[in-house]
Amino acid sequence: MTDTLPPVLDVAGLTVSFPGAGGEQRVVDGISFVHPGGRLALVGESGSGKSMTARALLGLVAAPGVVAATRLQMDGSDLSGLNESGWQRLRGQRIGLMLQDPRHALDPVRRIGSQVEEGLRIHRRLGRAERRDRALSMLEAVGMPDPLRAYRAYPHQLSGGMGQRAMLAATLIAEPRLLIADEPTSALDRELREQVLELIGAQVDLRGMALLLISHDLPQVAQHCEHVLVMHRGRLVESLPASRLADADHPYTRMLWQCRPSAATKGRPLPTLNMLEAQT
Ligand SMILES: Nc1ncnc2c1ncn2[C@@H]1O[C@H](COP(=O)(O)OP(=O)(O)O)[C@@H](O)[C@H]1O
Ligand SMILES: [Mg+2]
């Protein structure tokens, strides 16, 4: 017997493949990692397989995609044998998903309040008044300046930043164990990105949840996570504490890290992967 809790995620040999003209194409190629809790970042350039990894963890890879893993566990329980209703329960109760653009994630013809309450309607037996109270306090918790107005608004009536706050509220209200945020700020302008990432981090800590923060922007997410996984062409090439990024060994990690704007790079082109590959 051990008294240590199992990790939030324990993943080994995770592969997502698609049939292609030249044979099977592995867009996620045998990755292994542990999410111990707290805030973990998954970074890599566009197309490296980050979203497919998230979809595999949520049971959302659609045919003809095929998911395989030697281990796929959450809080010590096996996910790989789940049927569709098991995955639905997992998505509604244990893992929340926040995406880049609220205009795709929120239903345009339903008021925000009703969409925030959704997680309560499906999974909790509460009266209408209590659902409404909880939704309003959640809208307040995510920093809506006028929660009642947001509650009554339609998605198109909110700005991008407010839309992301509404989506966070809708995700948090079911009290999931793990929040997967896939490029949650990529559609926002720079100043708002910081604010929204800070909000996500603060809410996750406050509620004792785990965070998997997915982004192509390593310097930005590194400030908001304790540990970083770096993905390149379907593989994990690096796993290290955020505090050690400046000393990373892998050239790809170094390249992503150097993409941060600073006095030294001002006025000079930022490095690109092609430049890196020309060197190796
Ligand atoms: N339905 C699909 N069929 C075949 N390949 C796909 C499909 N969806 C995505 N891919 C490929 O999988 C790779 C990884 O995609 P994705 O996980 O979305 O990358 P990221 O989120 O890191 O930008 C990309 O090369 C993409 O072209
Ligand atoms: Mg993606």
pLDDT of residue 268: 54
pLDDT of residue 199: 95
Average pLDDT score over residue span 179-204: 94
Q: Does the structure show a pLDDT above 60 at 259?
A: yes
Q: Determine the Cα–Cα distance for residues 129 and 221; give it in Å rounded to an integer.
A: 38
- Pocket flag, ligand 1, residue 47 (CB < 6 Å): yes
pLDDT of residue 98: 93
Average pLDDT score over residue span 263-268: 53
pLDDT of residue 132: 96
pLDDT band per the 50, 70, 90 thresholds, residue 279: very low
Three-state secondary structure string covering the chain: CCCCCCCCEEEEEEEEEEEECCEEEEEEEEEEEEECCCEEEEECCCCCCHHHHHHHHHCCCCCCCEEECCEEEECCEECCCCCHHHHHHHHHHHEEEECCCHHHHCCCCCCHHHHHHHHHHHHCCCCHHHHHHHHHHHHHHCCCCCHHHHHHCCHHHCCHHHHHHHHHHHHHCCCCCEEEEECCCCCCCHHHHHHHHHHHHHHHHHCCCEEEEEECCHHHHHCCCCEEEEEECCEEEEEEEHHHHHHCCCHHHHHHHHCCCCCCCCCCCCCCHHHHHHHC
How confident is the prediction for the chain on average, in pLDDT? 90
Average pLDDT score over residue span 160-165: 92
pLDDT of residue 125: 79
- Pocket flag, ligand 1, residue 230 (CB < 6 Å): no
- Pocket flag, ligand 1, residue 51 (CB < 6 Å): yes
How far away, in angstroms, is 18 Cα from ligand 1 center?
Answer: 9
Q: Which of 25, 27, 28 to mutate to test the pocket of ligand 1 (most atoms within 8 A of CB)?
A: 27
How far away, in angstroms, is 27 Cα from ligand 2 center?
Answer: 12
- CB atoms closer than 10 angstroms to residue 49: 23
pLDDT band per the 50, 70, 90 thresholds, residue 270: low
Which of the residue ranges 99-103, 233-237, 249-253, 254-258 would you say has the lowest mean pLDDT? 99-103
pLDDT band per the 50, 70, 90 thresholds, residue 274: low
Q: Does the structure show a pLDDT above 60 at 68?
A: yes
Q: Which of these, 105, 102, 77, lies nearest to 10 by C-alpha position?
A: 77
How far away, in angstroms, is 274 Cα from ligand 1 center?
Answer: 20
- CB atoms closer than 10 angstroms to residue 76: 10
Q: Which of these, 67, 31, 19, 72, lies nearest to 232 by C-alpha position?
A: 31
Nearest ligand 1 atom to alpha carbon 49: 17
